[in-house]
Amino acid sequence: MNKTRYALLGMLNDAPRTGYMLKQDIETTVGHFWGESYGQIYPILKQLVAEGLATVSISDGKPLRKVYAITDAGRSELRRWLVEPIASAQPSRNELLLKLFFGAEVSKEALKGHLVRQREAADAALATFAGIKDALQAYEQDPNLPYWLATLRYGERVQEAVRGWADETLDALDAPPSGASPRRYS
């Protein structure tokens, strides 16, 4: 039921890593849709070893590094989870939408600020994705590439939708309040 373990197993399935490296790699690869903190990583690595899903080997150098590797049992547990249907996620909370929903209580200028910042965030995300896409060309032969690209395209699609929505909503906030436009006497 705990999903952190599968994120770690998935990463270890690609290559053995230390806890520290797992954190970095998670950030740079699945960072736009998944996050883990050390407070989770280290205890769960210990668990995985206890359950026989991973092994540790302490590097005999001075810097003290514990390199974790996936076992066959770990790989089959990973596969089991990968195939298992996804429990319909309860809606994650969206603070922007909540503020907008209650928007009648505050000035339109304040709401526009939220929307502009959201659009900027979407643009920044899209720029990041473009950079990643370029970097991924180096992996042309990697069998993982199609899957990595699919997650990237998800991000692109959603961020484009958000940006379009923000633009549209900014326009709507400027448009005449409702119904007939206030007719000027002529």
Partner DNA sequence: GCCTGCATGTAAACGGTTACATGATTCG
Partner DNA sequence: CGAATCATGTAACCGTTTACATGCAGGC
Q: Which residues bind DNA (CB under 7 A)?
A: 1-4, 18-21, 24, 35-40, 42-43, 45-46, 62-67, 90, 93
Q: Which of 58, 83, 138, 180 binds a second copy (CB under 8 A)?
A: 83
Q: Which of 96, 128, 133, 136 binds a second copy (CB under 8 A)?
A: 96
Q: Which does 82 bind (CB under 5 to 8 A by kind): DNA, a second copy, none?
A: a second copy
Stretch that binds a second copy, among 40-48, 49-57, 86-94, 127-135 (CB under 8 A): 86-94
Our finding on whether 102 is near a second copy (CB under 8 A) is yes
Q: What DSSP string runs through the chain? A: --SHHHHHHHHHHHS-B-HHHHHHHHHHHSTTT----HHHHHHHHHHHHHTTSEEEEE-SSTT--EEEEE-HHHHHHHHHHHHSPPP-PPPPP-HHHHHHHTGGGS-HHHHHHHHHHHHHHHHHHHHHHHHHHHHHGGGTT-TTHHHHHHHHHHHHHHHHHHHHHHHHHHHHHHS-SSSS--PPP-
Minimum CB distance to a second copy, residue 65 (Å): 24
Kindly identify the residues of this chain, within the stretch 107-146, that bind a second copy according to CB under 8 A. Answer: 107, 110, 113-114, 117-118, 121, 140-141, 143-146
Residue among 101 and 185 whose Cβ is closer to DNA: 101
